[in-house]
């Protein structure tokens, strides 16, 4: 299915461009989120940071990003989501560029917090726009393209960031990434003028549920638990895979970088292909509920098996399991958002996403800490992989059992 076919047929909606620019935004989002790790050795040496200080600086992103999801959802519901995303994008790009001028730990920490604040707008805005302009039966491929950036961003950021550091230094890397990213705003604002706004009458008829009401819903808890489990595996791999491969498996830095790039590229490709396949299955008459749930449950089970294989296998098994992990994780990324957008519908998508994504990104805080604790206690990564595998099983239960039938929730309607 071509990208141009993704949106509901609305004159002037610019559907293909909208999806492409959302994909680019998420791609840039994850480049900027991960470039601190790329420059970590040089930053630690220049500012003489302890491991604890660097850990605080790394986790600070999630301390602000997680609660800011609710603020971003609130703004998205009250502003045009295109404008809300543009505002968040400008904030996080400025924070990235200014990091190149940082003079010490305090400045770096403050800019990391601002980065988290700006990036919190990305997923609530993205989810609301896709829920509004893409038919439920086509959400798989739309989310596949957008979420491919989640995986390709770290790969491109690591490779390109490394080249920029070698040529110009770590400060220039942040400055170039931040300033260059601002170029995205020009086509985005031009496209935003062509995207039809939600009918004001429709918006006023739908009564937005309170956060307490959302938290009382079984489907919300299933989605939050499932998404948390997916993110746990993601942040576990992002945080600890390089160290694991080099220190415990004896990989060279070059081998580690190559395998990491392969995993991320496989995941990005999987997000697109699996989204297309899911939508094709729905078009052929397979129930949407079955397709979307299978797209989350099966990959979680595969990930659990892969992590068990990494914990117990030889080096060949490790490589194979990690590549299959990328394949499974990529397919989850489009399915989980398709489920959430279908359940919430256009009017509630931002609020739902803010709550779900905020809860899920607690994994960005917990996964690195739990892994470090387990490795310190056992002296090996084997048990840490088994813990991550157990979390993946919980995620399968969240999507497959706790989430009821995948269909739009019937929200309260305000009488005219």
Question: Do the beta carbons of residue 339 and residue 406 sit within 8 Å?
Answer: yes
Residue 132 belongs to some domain of the structure: yes
Residue 169 belongs to some domain of the structure: yes
Separation of alpha carbons 131 and 125, rounded Å:
10
Alpha-carbon 241 to chain mean position:
18
Question: What DSSP element (H or E) covers 20?
Answer: helix 15-38
Predicted confidence at residue 79, as pLDDT, reads 79
Residue 407 belongs to some domain of the structure: no
Structural domain that includes position 355:
3-402
Question: Do the beta carbons of residue 259 and residue 245 sit within 8 Å?
Answer: yes
Predicted confidence at residue 196, as pLDDT, reads 66
Residue 413 belongs to some domain of the structure: no
For the record, the structure tokens of 256 come out as 């580690």
Sign of the C-alpha dihedral, residues 397, 402, 406, 408? Answer: negative
**Which tens digits make up the pLDDT trace of 380-411?**
899 999 999 999 999 999 999 999 999 988 88
Predicted confidence at residue 238, as pLDDT, reads 82
Q: Which residues are registered as beta bridge partners of 206?
A: 413
Q: Please list, residue by residue across 61-70, b when 16 or more beta carbons sit within 10 angstroms of its beta carbon and e when fewer do.
A: bbebbbebbb
Predicted confidence at residue 10, as pLDDT, reads 41
SS (HEC) of 98-131: HHCCCCCHHHHHHHHHHHHHHHCCHHHHHHHHHH
Separation of alpha carbons 24 and 8, rounded Å:
21
Furthest C-alpha separation in the chain: 68
Predicted confidence at residue 198, as pLDDT, reads 58
Residue 72 belongs to some domain of the structure: yes
Give the CA radius of gyration of the chain.
21
Number of alpha carbons in the 13 Å side-chain half-sphere of residue 287 = 7
Instruction: Work out how many domains the chain is built from and give that number.
Output: 1
Residue 408 belongs to some domain of the structure: no
CATH number of the domain residue 277 falls in: 1.20.1250.20
* DSSP classification of residue 199: P
Please name which of 312, 16, 28 lies closest in space to residue 178, comparing C-alpha atoms.
28
Q: CA 120, 186, 160 angle in degrees (round to 5)? A: 65
Q: CA 95, 336, 346 angle in degrees (round to 5)? A: 80
**What's the whole-model pTM score?**
0.84
Residue 409 belongs to some domain of the structure: no
Separation of alpha carbons 172 and 100, rounded Å:
6
Residue 407, Cβ density class (10 Å: 0-12 exposed, 13-18 middle, ≥19 buried): middle
Residue 193 belongs to some domain of the structure: yes
Positions in the chain short of pLDDT 50: 1-13, 199-202
Residue 208, Cβ density class (10 Å: 0-12 exposed, 13-18 middle, ≥19 buried): middle
Predicted confidence at residue 13, as pLDDT, reads 46
Question: Do the beta carbons of residue 194 and residue 85 sit within 8 Å?
Answer: no
């Amino acid at each position: 299915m071509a990208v141009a076919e993704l949106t509901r047929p609305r004159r002037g909606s610019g559907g293909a461009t909208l999806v492409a620019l959302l994909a680019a935004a998420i791609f840039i989002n994850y480049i900027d989120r991960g470039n601190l790790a790329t420059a970590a050795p040089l930053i630690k040496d220049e500012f003489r940071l302890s491991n604890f200080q660097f850990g605080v600086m790394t986790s600070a992103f999630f301390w602000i990003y997680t609660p800011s999801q609710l603020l971003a959802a609130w703004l998205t519901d009250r502003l045009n989501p295109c404008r809300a995303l543009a505002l968040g994008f400008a904030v996080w790009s400025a924070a990235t560029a200014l990091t190149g001028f940082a003079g010490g730990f305090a400045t770096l920490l403050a800019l990391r917090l601002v980065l988290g604040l700006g990036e919190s707008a990305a997923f609530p805005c993205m989810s609301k726009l896709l829920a509004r302009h893409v038919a439920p039966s086509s959400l798989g491929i739309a989310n596949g393209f957008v979420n491919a950036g989640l995986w390709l961003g770290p790969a491109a950021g690591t490779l390109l960031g490394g080249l920029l550091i070698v040529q110009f230094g770590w400060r220039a890397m942040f400055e170039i990434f931040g300033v260059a990213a601002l170029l995205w705003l020009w086509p985005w604002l031009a496209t935003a003028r062509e995207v039809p706004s939600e009918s004001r009458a429709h918006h006023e008829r739908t009564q937005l549920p309170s956060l307490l009401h959302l938290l009382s819903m079984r489907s919300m808890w299933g989605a939050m638990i499932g998404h948390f489990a997916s993110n746990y595996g993601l942040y576990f791999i992002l945080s600890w895979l390089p160290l694991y491969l080099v220190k415990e498996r004896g990989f060279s830095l070059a081998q580690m970088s190559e395998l990491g790039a392969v995993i991320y590229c496989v995941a990005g490709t999987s997000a697109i292909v699996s989204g297309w396949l899911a939508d094709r299955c729905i078009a052929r008459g397979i129930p949407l509920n079955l397709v979307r749930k299978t797209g989350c449950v099966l990959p979680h089970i595969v990930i659990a098996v892969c992590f068990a294989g990494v914990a117990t296998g030889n080096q060949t098994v490790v490589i194979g399991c990690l590549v299959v992990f990328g394949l499974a994780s990529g397919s989850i990324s489009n399915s989980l958002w398709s489920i959430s957008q279908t359940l919430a519908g256009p009017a509630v998508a931002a609020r739902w996403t803010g709550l779900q994504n905020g809860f899920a990104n607690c994994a960005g805080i917990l996964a690195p800490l739990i892994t470090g604790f387990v490795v310190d206690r056992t002296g090996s990564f084997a048990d840490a992989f088994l813990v991550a595998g157990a979390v993946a099983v919980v995620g399968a239960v969240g999507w497959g059992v706790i989430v009821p039938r995948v269909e739009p929730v019937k929200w309260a309607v305000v009488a005219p």
